Amino acid sequence: MSSLKNILINMVTLGILIFAIMSTIIIIQHDSNLNEQNKIINNNNISDSFDNLESSLDKESNAQSSLGSLEEVPPQDYIGDLSVASMVSSTRTGKDVISGLWSVYVKLPMSILGVDSLIASAISTILLILIAIGIWAIWKGAIS
Amino acid sequence: MEGGNIIMVNYPDLSNLNNQSGIGGLMSLPNSSYPFFWAWILGGIWVIISLTMYFSEKEKIGRGKILSSMSVASFVIVLLSTIGTILGIVSVDIMIYILVISSIIIGIWWFSVK
């Protein structure tokens, strides 16, 4: 049985791999001037999970605005405000990564394979309860 | 209807063929009689690549891993289906089916690797 560390590392690397594949597809389709209706990013299943994540991970504009605000504000003021803002931003990105992975691995296959919404909700609930119990068991030392 | 979902497909006919349609127009012609023509062709290519890699590995090393061969073939099929959407022979709904099934195979392989 794999350890929890290996499972987490596998999940993270697999998530990066899947997003790299999707990013490659989107870039290829965008660069080839494909019709908007034939682009994968315009499909509801993909755009719900990937578009929000892409905008969240796009840090260029955020970094530019942070640089602008840093240059405008005197160094003795608002230092705490800047640190809190950056922490909230990274937390939001982490939340979007987790919800994006959840959408890609759980919601998207269920939607594509035609699973009923009631069954999908039941499976999601069972998975979430199992995750919560697993975290509790690890926290209590029942599982190494 | 396929698996409970409605799949939107292109139904080109001979009127789409002219001197501007190019290779994409010619290749999408079989979709007019059967919309999943290129999906089955891609599935056949996936089987051929998987089995070729598996038996090649088995012959060279002595043992093969079918899941590894299947996942590498899935990468190829995702790339081919992307090219198919650019040429207009694979609809975006079939492309998403291919992407999801390939992701599941790649995920199972990824977690099976020690």
Contact A40 B86 (CB under 8 A): no
pLDDT digits (tens, 9 = 90+) for A62-77: 666 666 666 666 555 5
Question: How many Cβ pairs within 8 Å bridge chains A and B?
Answer: 69
Average pLDDT, chain B: 82
User: Is residue B91 over pLDDT 80?
Assistant: yes
For chain B, the structural domain boundaries read 36-112
pLDDT digits (tens, 9 = 90+) for B51-74: 999 999 999 988 888 999 999 999
Q: Which one has a higher pLDDT value, A101 or A10?
A: A10
Partners of B2 in the β-ladder: B5
Confidence category of residue B114, pLDDT binned at 50, 70, 90: low
* Pair of tokens at residue A90: 């990274």
Instruction: DSSP for B98-114, please give it.
Output: HHHHHHHHHHHHHHH--
- Residue in chain B lying closest to A11 (CA): B111
Confidence category of residue B14, pLDDT binned at 50, 70, 90: low
ipTM for the predicted complex comes to 0.75
The three-state (H, E, C) secondary structure of A48-108, written as one string: HHHHHHHHHHCHHHHHHHHHHHHHHCCCCCCHHHHHHHHHHHHHHHHHHHHHHHHHHHHHH
* Pair of tokens at residue B8: 């939107």
User: Is residue A21 over pLDDT 60?
Assistant: yes
